[in-house]
A and B are shown apart, each in its own frame.
Chain A
Amino acid sequence: MTTLAFASILIMSAMGYFIGRRRSLAIVNGERYRLHSRPVYHGAFVALWIGIPTTLFVLLWLLFQYSVIDSLLIGSMSADLTEGRSGEQVQLILNEVKSIAAGNFFNIPSPEIQDLANTYNALVAKFRWMLVASAIVIAAAILLFTLSRISDSFRARQGVEKVLDGVMIGCSLIAILTTLGIVVSLVVESLRFFSKVPFYEFLFGLNWEPQIPIREGQVAAEGAFGAIPVFTGTLLIAGISLLVAVPIGLLAAIYLTQYAKSRLRAFIKPLLEFLAGVPTVVYGFFAVLVVAPAMKEWGAGIGLDIAPNSAIAAGAVMGIMLIPFVSSLSDDAISAVPQSLTDSSLGLGATKGETILNILLPAALPGIIGGILLAASRAIGETMIVVMAAGLIATLTLNPFEAVTTVTVQIVTLLIGDTAFDNPKTLSAFALGLLLFIVTLFLNVIALRIVQKYREKYD
């Protein structure tokens, strides 16, 4: 049915195109030169004006249709069905109704529910027809209006181009809308969270146990949402990953840009790019399959008790993931240093090593620092590796051999399989998300600024 709506838009637009073109030619009796704009532009003008607003209308309709139908359905529920039930329970009934409406039953539904399912199906069908009908009506209205504007002096090309301008600006704004969407949704849900759990408790509390069952009448906020252990866990793992990635990545970049013959470079670069393109879920599995068991065994060998989901295993694997990232950013920073600067140092009789340490690295330092900040931001926001390889329990420790949890792990585990946004447990994920967003944004802005300044210096 949705397809039918879009198809009718397409057909109406195509019709509009041909009618518009014919009409423009008819007005001037086929003497094209009398037209201000070529006939195709008259056609395109009509087609665009039909196509774009109608498509937007249909999309908006589709976006809202489900929530409208839901509320209509809830409205049609008899009082004894909704009486005394929380929003969550009503939602459950709704889900049951929908699955029955879709024809999946596991046992015979009660007549009430069956009725509701029938209502639901009827509503959906009604909405579908209404959608197609209103799309066609709108398209027809626009067609009539635009056709009336076609004349020999009508500037159809400019009209078309203005529409295209509008579309392009709209598309550019999507980036801003996305950011807005992120900020608004995070802030709204976080505010709801902070209305249940005090702000200072979240930021400074030492105890994080969001999974506790929320019993009737229990104050969920009782010491269970202190995020400090989650923050320290995040920083611990991110720190370990940078300890692995920065030296290796930086040294690799130095070697590749300064010492390596071009043959070796041509061989290593694609390998690093491959390493960079490996999805993080793969690294996560690698951590579980190889690194964590190996570390545990190694620890047992020297009498160390290393947890199977230790911070060091997750951090080390995240470090591996970041190596190509650090190395390519360092590579950029080093390559931006003008050749003449290193040549001057070599020309004074410095060895390559002295040139690198005394001239090249100090000159490239801002770029390298920017790169490290970006890597830190990646490490903090990285999700899959820690979801698979780090712990779920928030322990307040800096011992890398113990299991710690991170912000991203908590977000994912709190939200997997749960969509009801009315308990502190799920809402806390949004508060964590907001914090994560702010911190990574801050790191990125600073890093990009440093890198930009640095580039300008040598451009």
Chain B
Amino acid sequence: MTDILDKIDSKALHDWNSPENRRRVQKRYARDRLLKIAGLTAIGLAVLLLGILVTSLLYSARSAVTQSMVELEYFIDPAKVSRDAPERGSYRSIVKKAVLTHYPEVTNRRQQRKIVKILSGGVSYLVRDHVVANPDVMGKTISLKLPLSDPFDQLNKGVIRRDLPENQRRVSDKEIAWFDVMVKKDLIHNPINWGLIFNNDSRRPEVAGLRGAIVGSFYILLVCFLISFPVGIAAAVYLEEFARKSRMNDIIEVNINNLAAVPSVVFGLLGLAVFLGFFGLPRSAPLVGGMVLSLMTLPTIIIAARAALKAVPPSIREAALGMGASRHQVIQHHVLPLAMPGILTGTIIGLAQALGETAPLLLIGMNAFITSDPGSIMEPATALPTQIYSWADSPERGFTSRTSAAIIVLLGFLVIMNTVAIILRQKFEKKW
């Protein structure tokens, strides 16, 4: 025993610089480096995956940025369109005629039909809409740029490659030759695809757009905000400022924390069974979507609002109470205004989450195929994420790039909302 104590005392006991020890230390450092490299690899991997995610979406979306259009002269023949009811004309034949004037040599009916199919099937409706909106074009010839059908849109953008053997692509050599006639006559244009945002949904990818989904998402978020914001603040104020430590309040608190982690699809079941089943509210309505999402957003807002209230220093409450204000007045006049930026930040983050939420909306039928935007919160609608889901599920090739583009639109909204939240937080962080 004592000799070891002596050993500790004598400084010559351990030779830190012996070659043996140096080797040992080298090994220890190697292990340290290994951990460091593993960590760096993990981060690199996460960044790489994010990069792949974003670039693959952008890459896939690039062909949805523009839309191939063909500029043709349409003669609005009064023989085919009645002046009194322009919506009931035979627009199909007007379109057919406009196309076929460029192919006088083709007389075979089947071939003619194929040529007309270079244009989107929605073109005759678009011409109709134009005439309905401008009745004075009756009997005149109008020049319109209207979308190509999906295969030719893809061909024009080079997605369908001409150098592939004929049996491996969706357009035949002959169709390409017909298409090239239009190209040569300089009739094909590639404007920015604003229709993606301003059109309503359609089965035809070339004319499908997000308008209805954006309006639907807006209504849903509006309902969600109108419910969860006031309710969330009231609950947070009660729990943070008034509730005494009691069993009931403990239960409420545990409840809120757990609710925040309940899978979203369960909220969908709740909406389906209670709002649709029990109360008989209309299916696919933004009102129901907003109500379901508000229940999901509520915990986020309550937790954020409580944190914001907690951050208001007690000295402010005490000072105001000392001046004879009631607790309600203190909270209303002093605490809430100071906590408001924090509460708003939490609310925006909660709404951003709600905007991306899909599963509960599917269960209450918000993936319906709806070709007009909802006029009110009671009318059937889709939402951005459910529209993405429907498009992703559609077999038409043109929907792939449009789904990616729709995702980028959705991510754009999310980035904007989160940026606003961050700016709000930084601007008002700890003023006192």
Contact = CB atoms under 8 A, between A and B. Distances in A.
Interface of A: 63-64, 66-67, 70, 157, 160-161, 164-165, 167-176, 178-179, 181-182, 185-186, 188-189, 247-252, 254-256, 258-260, 268, 271-272, 274-275, 277-286, 288-290, 320, 323-324, 327, 351-354, 356-357, 374, 377-378, 380-384, 387-388, 408, 411-412, 415-417, 419, 421, 429-430, 433, 436-437, 440-441, 444-445, 448
Contacts of B252: 172-173, 175-176
B299 A381 contact: no
18 contacts: A66-B281, A168-B234, A172-B234, A172-B239, A172-B243, A175-B256, A176-B251, A181-B274, A182-B266, A185-B274, A249-B42, A250-B42, A282-B407, A320-B53, A378-B261, A388-B392, A412-B359, A412-B363
A176 B232 CA distance: 13
A168 B43 contact: no
Nearest to A323: B46
Contacts of B40: 255, 259
Nearest to B393: A388
Contact of B49 (A157, A320, A382): A320
B50 A419 contact: no
Contacts of A70: 280
Contacts of B258: 179, 441, 444-445, 448
Contact of A411 (B256, B259, B265): B265
A417 B278 CA distance: 17
Contact of A171 (B36, B235, B276): B235
B56 A411 contact: no
Contacts of B216: none
Interface of B: 28-29, 31-36, 38-43, 45-47, 49-50, 52-53, 56-57, 60, 230-232, 234-235, 237-239, 242-243, 251-252, 255-259, 261-270, 272-274, 276-283, 295, 298-299, 302, 326, 328, 352-353, 355-359, 362-363, 365, 367, 385, 388-389, 392-393, 400, 403-404, 407, 410-411, 414-415, 418
A174 B328 contact: no
A417 B256 CA distance: 31
B45 A248 contact: yes
Nearest to B252: A172
B397 to A, nearest CB: 12
A265 B309 CA distance: 29
Given A165-B242, A286-B57, A419 B283 contact: yes
A380 B414 contact: no
Interface of B is mostly: helix
B279 A67 contact: yes
Given A178-B259, A186-B269, A286-B53, A168 B280 contact: no
Contact of B265 (A258, A268, A374, A412): A412
Given A175-B256, A255-B39, A437-B262, A279 B270 contact: no
B235 A290 contact: no
A274 to B, nearest CB: 7
B388 A285 contact: yes
B265 A171 contact: no
A182 B302 CA distance: 19
B269 A289 contact: no
Nearest to B25: A351
A284 to B, nearest CB: 7
A430 B363 CA distance: 12
Given A66-B280, A283-B53, 17 more contacts: A172-B239, A175-B235, A181-B270, A251-B42, A278-B411, A281-B407, A282-B407, A285-B403, A327-B46, A351-B31, A352-B36, A357-B35, A378-B263, A380-B263, A411-B269, A419-B276, A440-B266
B269 A381 contact: no
Most buried by B among A170, A255, A417, A419: A255
A254 B269 contact: no
Contact of B235 (A67, A174, A274): A174
A63 B36 CA distance: 59
Given A66-B280, A254-B39, A356-B35, A179 B259 contact: yes
Given A164-B328, A252-B43, A353-B36, A285 B238 contact: no
Most buried by A among B232, B265, B357: B265
A175 B385 contact: no
Given A167-B234, A248-B46, A384 B274 contact: no
